Amino acid sequence: MSSESTIAVTAIWTDDQNTIKGDLLGSSNTVAMAVGMLGNHISKHMTKVYGLDPPLNPLAMRAKYFPDVQPSDMLNVCRPGGLTAIFSPNFETNRRIKTQLAQKAQANQISVETNTALATNTATTSQSSTQAAPSRRSRKSKKRNAASAANPVSTANPASTSNLSQVTMDDQLKAMLASMQSEIAEMRGKNERILNDNEKILNENGSMRNEIETIRNENESMRNEIETIRNENDRILNENESINNDLASVRNDLNAAKVKHSQDVEALKEVTMLLIPLHLRVLLDLARKKVLEHLGHETWEDLRASRSVYQLADTICNDLKRKGVSYPPSSESIFFLCSYNNIRRAGNTAAHSAKEDDIRHAVLTQSLESRDRRCLESLFTYAYNGVPV
- Side-by-side strand order, sheet with 6-13: 19-25, 6-13, 83-89, 61-66
- What percentage of the chain carries pLDDT values higher than 70? 81
- Does the pLDDT value for residue 206 go beyond 50? yes
| Mean pLDDT score, 207-230 | 92
Return the pLDDT at 235: 93
Reported as a single tens digit per residue, the pLDDT across 337-378 is 898 888 778 777 776 666 788 788 888 888 888 888 888 888
pLDDT band for position 267 (cuts 50, 70, 90): confident
Return the pLDDT at 118: 59
For the ranges 96-105, 164-173, 211-220, 288-297, the lowest mean pLDDT is seen at 164-173
- Does the pLDDT value for residue 107 go beyond 90? no
Return the pLDDT at 310: 94
| Mean pLDDT score, 195-203 | 91
| Mean pLDDT score, 30-49 | 92
| Mean pLDDT score, 75-84 | 91
pLDDT band for position 121 (cuts 50, 70, 90): low
* Contact of 12 with 21, CB cutoff 8 Å: no
* Contact of 126 with 132, CB cutoff 8 Å: no
Reported as a single tens digit per residue, the pLDDT across 274-308 is 777 877 878 888 889 999 999 999 999 999 988 99
Q: Is 385 exposed, middle or buried (0-12, 13-18, 19+ CB in 10 A)?
A: exposed
pTM (two decimals): 0.32
Q: Which residue has the higher pLDDT, 75 or 127?
A: 75
Distance CA 161, CA 373 (A): 173
Return the pLDDT at 147: 45
Total number of residues shown for the chain: 389
For the ranges 102-106, 141-145, 171-175, the lowest mean pLDDT is seen at 141-145
pLDDT band for position 155 (cuts 50, 70, 90): very low
Residue 163's CB is within 10 A of a number of other CB atoms, namely 11
Return the pLDDT at 51: 87
Q: Across all residues in the chain, what is the average pLDDT?
A: 81
